[in-house]
A = this chain, B = another copy of it.
Amino acid sequence: MIYFDSDYMEGAHPEVMRRLMETNLEHTVGYGEDPHSANARQLIRQACQAPNALVQFLVGGTQTNATVIDALLLRHQGVLAAETGHINVHESGAIEHSGHKVLTLPSHGGKVDADEVEKYITSFYSDDTYHHMVAPGMLYITQPTELGSIYSLAELEALSGICHRHNIPLYLDGARLGYGLAAQGADYTLADIARLCDVFYIGGTKVGALFGEAVVAPNPERLPYFFELVKQHGALLAKGRLQGVQFETLFTDGLYQKIAHHAVEQAMRIRQAFVARGIRVAFPSPTNQQFFVLPNELMDRLRKEVSFENWGPRGESETTVRFVTSWATTAADVDRLVELINS
């Protein structure tokens, strides 16, 4: 069997594991005050060209979103997000658990539209009754989105401009940020992200780590008392060094980038094979998640040897499916998949 179900089916990239083994017996203080965490924070600041950034490690994506959003919003405010946004769909109400409403915008292939964001905000304040309504207090975007798509630099600049004109922070959920940076046609860098966003996180769980997400606030004043909030949200790891060692490894010798480029490369090979065979793309994606509309017959045939996600029927004879690659996807796996597609 070969596996394309998701990018969190295995442990960690071997180099990450090697470093965890190597440092296992070191004695360090807890809660991220150790030298590995300090070093990892420094490496991330450099990669982001954000020398003063607050960098705080959390464990997983949902808790990161819940904690950051809780930190950024005033109590009467909600968070603007695409209706397909992870926080609106797949976080079991974690945002509302902290008391905040998700204010939804139409999803355009997973993305929000800058004009619609602007219009939401201006309409809000032109409504006489707005003091009785939940104010748009920040904008949440995912990069890449849940559907694999990416915002271009121009789109990010437009969103950032709108947010800052209206004095609300822009927060970017980078659970798969590596793949967004390695995406075909990506015209922005990590430094651009840091320049345009008030807060974002660099996902580790889905990009080579066992677990761990690095929250970055280029201007630390955006996240006052964040350590306390992380603790209050149950998101503070006792052995913070584990995230330190992992991110230290990922941000040494460009490992994070290598992992992402490898995965995107394999994803592109998969796409090419399907498209060459005449299969339709369900949602266009330049990243490590690929979505196709498969004839059921082909799907059934592939299933015998290949594992991937079924996203539900499309009419009577087709099905939307997802193929995902990661550091753990080998070229040989993709070779075999291509062979099966073409056979």
Contacts and interface: CB of A to CB of B under 8 A. Distances in A.
Interface of A: 1, 3, 5-6, 8-12, 14, 17, 20-21, 23-30, 59-64, 66-67, 70-71, 74-76, 78, 89-94, 96-102, 129, 131-135, 205-206, 210-211, 224-225, 227-229, 231-239, 241-242, 307, 328
A25 to B, nearest CB: 6
A8 B238 contact: yes
Contacts of A239: 8, 11, 205, 210-211
B234 A234 contact: yes
Main secondary structure of the interface of A (DSSP, over half): loop
Contact of A76 (B21, B60, B225, B235): B225
Contacts of A60: 59, 234, 236-238
Contacts of A67: 234
Identical copies in the complex:
4
Contact of A234 (B5, B94, B205, B238): B94
A210 B28 CA distance: 13
Contact of A233 (B97, B131, B133): B97
B30 A76 contact: no
A27 B10 contact: yes
Taking each of A10, A60, A92, A99, which has the highest tally of chain B beta carbons within 10 Å of its own beta carbon?
Answer: A92
Contact of A92 (B70, B92, B132): B132
B234 A63 contact: yes
B59 A237 contact: yes
A232 B135 contact: no
A204 B191 CA distance: 38
A20 B74 CA distance: 37
Taking each of A25, A67, A70, A97, which has the highest tally of chain B beta carbons within 10 Å of its own beta carbon?
Answer: A97
Given A10-B27, A76-B93, 16 more contacts: A3-B27, A5-B27, A8-B30, A8-B238, A62-B231, A62-B236, A63-B233, A63-B234, A75-B97, A76-B225, A90-B132, A93-B101, A96-B99, A101-B102, A135-B228, A205-B239
Query: 6 closest pairs, A vs B, by CB?
Result: A63-B234, A76-B228, A11-B24, A92-B231, A92-B232, A93-B134
Nearest to A71: B75
